[in-house]
């Protein structure tokens, strides 16, 4: 998939990549949400929930590079690990299907819940519908162990004559997925320029670091000083900052360029992380309901609900007439796994 990129992005155009969506998502205004928040700022949303493949989401951009490498290596099977309601797992299965590969997915128990919907609805249902082979991993906070277990599954598949490709979870591997958001940074800057938008700050969920890190790296490489604020959804701000700093250096190494990201560029807020990964707070539920009932944006309790709560918080703390852009990373199927909690929130009137 050959694409032209500026020289500031190094060897990006030469790296293996497959096409999994049409290549662009819109930036839209959110005036009703801004008015409901009493904000003096202008609100915009980058609709990466509209990346087309199997309910879409940010992982589609990331998978174009992971699956590009797998395709180049003549793999016939994709292996990936993630939370039970992982959007990455769902989209890896979808992408593998589109390329004529099979997908083996390992689901980690990251969220302590006795709700049967968590293990049967949402992304799990879609994984099964698309024919993924499912495995379980009991520890949700052991990235290295989850990767080792994937390696054992891959060994078994090789012994059976398959050609597996592993998409790793833990740090220490080339962050091919982050390149999808280096591409997105290039796309966003062109849209901002073409539509003459005044964007002062972008707010994004910060989890694995591939979306946040790739976007920040790409913006700075292309000379943009737009502030990028990451809302922590998996770990605290101090831990995430270290992860992001390493991720940006790894991206620079992949692209054979110097990183222009400074320590001050890595901005993180962990006020909306509690009570933990995959567990919604009252602020998260308020954000989900407000976004749905103003701009008809569908958000999930794990990633986008928390990042929208952070976005609304930032709107309360910026100068008047600032331009704030929310990066909607998708996650729509998770809504159905959390339907009981969402109904409870509506009954409780947390949006009041």
Among all residues, which ones are annotated catalytic?
A: 86
CB 306 within 8 A of CB 273: yes
**Cα distance from N-terminal residue to C-terminal residue, the chain:** 49
């Amino acid at each position: 998939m050959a694409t032209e990129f500026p020289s500031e992005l190094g060897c990006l155009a030469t790296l293996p990549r497959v096409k999994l969506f049409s290549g662009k998502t819109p930036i839209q205004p959110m005036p009703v949400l801004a008015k409901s928040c009493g904000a003096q700022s202008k609100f915009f949303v980058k609709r990466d929930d509209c990346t087309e493949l199997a309910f879409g989401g940010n992982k589609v951009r990331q998978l174009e590079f992971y699956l590009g490498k797998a395709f180049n290596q003549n793999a016939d099977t994709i292996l990936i690990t993630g939370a039970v309601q992982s959007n990455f797992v769902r989209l890896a299965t979808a992408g593998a299907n589109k390329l004529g590969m099979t997908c083996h997915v390992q689901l980690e128990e990251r969220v302590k819940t006795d709700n049967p919907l968590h293990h049967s609805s949402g992304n799990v249902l879609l994984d099964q519908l698309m024919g993924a082979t499912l495995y379980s991993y009991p520890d949700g906070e052991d990235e290295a162990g989850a990767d080792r277990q994937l390696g054992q599954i891959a060994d078994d598949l090789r012994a059976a004559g398959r050609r597996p490709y592993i998409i790793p979870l833990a740090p220490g591997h080339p962050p091919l997925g982050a390149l999808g958001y280096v591409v997105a940074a290039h796309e966003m800057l062109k849209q901002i320029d073409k539509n003459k938008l005044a964007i002062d700050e972008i707010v994004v969920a910060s989890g694995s670091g591939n979306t946040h890190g790739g976007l920040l790296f790409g913006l700075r490489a292309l000379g943009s000083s737009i502030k990028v604020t990451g809302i922590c959804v998996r770990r605290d701000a101090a831990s995430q900052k270290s992860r992001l700093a390493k991720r940006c250096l790894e991206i620079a190494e992949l692209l054979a360029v110097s990183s222009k990201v400074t320590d001050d560029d890595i901005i993180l807020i962990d006020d909306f992380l509690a009570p933990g990964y995959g567990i919604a707070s009252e602020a998260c539920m308020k954000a989900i309901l407000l976004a749905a009932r103003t701009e008809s944006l569908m958000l999930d309790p794990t990633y986008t609900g928390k990042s929208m709560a952070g976005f609304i918080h930032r709107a309360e703390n910026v100068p008047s007439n600032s331009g704030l852009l929310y990066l909607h990373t998708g996650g729509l199927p998770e809504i159905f796994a959390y339907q009981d909690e969402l109904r409870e929130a509506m009954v409780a009137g947390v949006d009041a």
